[in-house]
C-alpha cells in the first residue's frame, strides 16, 4: 500500500488531438508514494496493433476465429534495480513525475478503429514492479490517424479526380405486371466527413401499381482471421421518396449528410476493412432484384474528430 496513485498521460500535439506515423509522442508516468519506496522496475510501452475475434456456433460446438497484427512495440525502462545501490531505483515520498518520449515509426498504418468483431488500437502501457507480489499497471489509448488521405488506393491524380466526378447506375426491376426502371445519380463518389450531397433517382414505372423508392446509406465491415471472413452490414435510411404511380415517370431527390464523427473508408489493414455505399430500393417483395447501389468513399474531413474520452484502467500487461 505504499503507492497512493499510479498513472500515465500523453501530450496532445495538434488540433485533432491525434498522432500519425513519424510523430513524436511524449508524456509522463506519475507515481505518488506514501513513503520512500524501492522498485524493481518502472517501464512504459507504446504499442499499435489490430485484432479480429469472433466465434462460429454450430450446434454445441463453438469455434474461435482470431488474428492479430502488430504495427509497432516500443519500450522505455525508466527505473530498474540492477543492484547498483546508487539510488536510481528509489521513488521518493510524494508525487514523482517521469517524462518519456517515443517516435512513432513512419510506416503505413491504419487509423484507430473499433468495429463489430475487430479493432485497431494504439496505446501507452505503464508498469511499476515493486516485487513479485506487488505490480501496478495502467493503460491509456491515444487516437491515431493514417497519414494517407486515401487509405484505400494510390494517391494518383486519376483517383483524386475520379472521386469528384458524378456517378450513376441504371437497373430494371421486373414484376408480374410490368417493370420499373431506376436510374440513380450521385453528385460525386468521394465525400468528406461533415459534407452533404444530393442523390437523385429517376423512376420509370411501367407496372400496374405504385412504387416508393427509399434511400439508404450502407456501411460494410469485413473481418478476416485464419482465412475465414465475416461481414457486418449496417443500413441507415436517409430518405423516402414520394410514390410513383403506375405508368408514370418521376425524378426524386434526397440529400445525404455525412456526420463529422463517421469513420472514413479504409482498406489499408490486412485484417479488416470499411466500405460505404448508397442504396436505393423499391422495398417491394414482389420485385426481383429491386435494389441499386453506388460506391461511396468517405474521406477524412477538415473539422476536429470526435473521440471518446480516454479512460485509464489497470489493464493486463501483454
Range(s) within the chain of domains with CATH label 2.60.40.640: 3-141, 157-299
pTM for the model stands at: 0.83
Q: Please tell me the distance from the alpha carbon of residue 240 to that of residue 289, in angstroms, as a whole number.
A: 19
Report which secondary-structure segment, H or E, holds 195: none
Q: Do you know the residue count of the chain? A: 318
> pLDDT value at position 312?
41
> pLDDT value at position 286?
57
Torsion of CA 164, 165, 166, 171, to 10 degrees: -110
Q: What architecture (CATH level 2) is domain 157-299?
A: Sandwich (2.60)
φ, ψ of residue 159 to 5 degrees: the values are -65, -50
- Tell me the β-bridge partners of 7: 30
> pLDDT value at position 249?
94
CA atoms lying within 13 Å on the CB side of residue 176: 2
Buried-exposed string 142-164: b where 16+ CB fall within 10 A, e elsewhere: bbbbbebebbbeeeeeeeeeebe
Averaged in consecutive runs of 10 residues, what is the pLDDT profile of the chain (318 residues)? Answer: 92 80 95 92 96 91 94 95 67 94 94 95 96 92 83 50 77 76 91 92 90 93 94 94 92 93 90 94 68 89 45 36
> pLDDT value at position 17?
75
Q: Which three cell numbers stand for residue 102?
A: 517515443
Under 8 Å between Cβ of 43 and 78 = yes
Under 8 Å between Cβ of 294 and 186 = yes
Q: Which among 71, 148, 143 has a CA at the least distance from the CA of 105?
A: 71
Rg of the chain over CA atoms, in angstroms?
27
Q: Which residue has the cell 430494371?
A: 172
Question: Strand 118-131 relative to strand 113-114: parallel, antiparallel, unpaired?
Answer: antiparallel
> pLDDT value at position 167?
83
CATH classification for the domain delimited by 3-141, as one of 3.10.310.10, 3.50.50.60, 2.60.40.640, 2.60.40.10: 2.60.40.640
Amino acid at each position: 500500500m505504499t503507492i497512493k496513485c499510479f498513472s500515465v498521460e500523453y501530450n496532445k500535439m495538434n488540433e485533432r488531438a491525434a498522432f500519425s506515423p513519424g510523430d513524436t509522442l511524449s508524456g509522463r508516468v506519475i507515481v505518488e508514494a506514501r513513503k520512500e519506496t524501492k522498485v524493481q522496475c518502472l517501464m512504459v510501452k507504446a504499442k499499435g496493433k489490430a485484432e479480429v475475434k469472433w466465434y462460429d456456433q454450430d450446434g454445441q460446438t463453438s469455434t474461435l476465429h482470431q488474428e492479430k497484427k502488430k504495427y509497432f512495440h516500443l519500450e522505455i525502462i525508466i527505473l530498474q534495480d540492477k543492484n547498483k545501490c546508487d539510488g536510481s531505483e528509489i521513488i521518493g515520498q510524494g508525487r514523482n513525475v517521469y517524462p518519456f518520449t517515443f517516435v512513432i515509426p513512419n510506416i503505413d498504418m491504419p487509423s484507430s478503429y473499433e468495429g463489430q468483431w475487430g479493432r485497431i488500437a494504439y496505446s501507452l502501457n505503464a508498469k511499476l514492479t515493486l516485487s513479485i507480489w506487488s505490480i501496478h499497471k495502467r493503460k491509456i489509448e491515444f487516437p491515431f490517424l493514417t497519414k494517407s488521405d486515401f487509405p484505400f488506393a494510390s494517391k494518383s491524380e486519376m483517383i483524386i479526380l475520379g472521386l469528384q466526378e458524378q456517378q450513376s447506375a441504371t437497373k430494371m426491376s421486373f414484376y408480374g405486371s410490368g417493370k420499373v426502371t431506376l436510374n440513380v445519380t450521385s453528385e460525386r463518389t468521394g465525400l468528406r466527413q461533415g459534407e452533404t450531397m444530393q442523390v437523385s433517382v429517376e423512376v420509370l414505372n411501367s407496372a400496374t401499381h405504385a412504387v416508393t423508392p427509399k434511400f439508404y446509406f450502407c456501411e460494410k465491415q469485413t473481418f478476416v482471421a485464419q482465412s475465414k471472413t465475416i461481414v457486418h452490414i449496417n443500413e441507415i435510411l436517409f430518405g423516402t421518396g414520394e410514390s410513383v404511380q403506375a405508368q408514370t415517370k418521376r425524378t426524386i431527390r434526397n440529400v445525404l449528410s455525412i456526420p463529422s464523427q463517421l469513420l472514413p473508408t479504409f482498406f489499408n489493414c490486412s485484417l479488416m476493412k470499411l466500405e460505404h455505399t448508397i442504396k436505393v430500393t423499391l422495398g417491394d417483395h414482389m420485385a426481383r432484384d429491386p435494389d441499386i447501389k453506388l460506391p461511396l468513399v468517405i474521406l477524412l474531413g477538415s473539422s476536429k474528430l470526435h473521440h471518446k474520452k480516454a479512460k485509464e484502467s489497470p489493464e493486463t500487461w501483454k
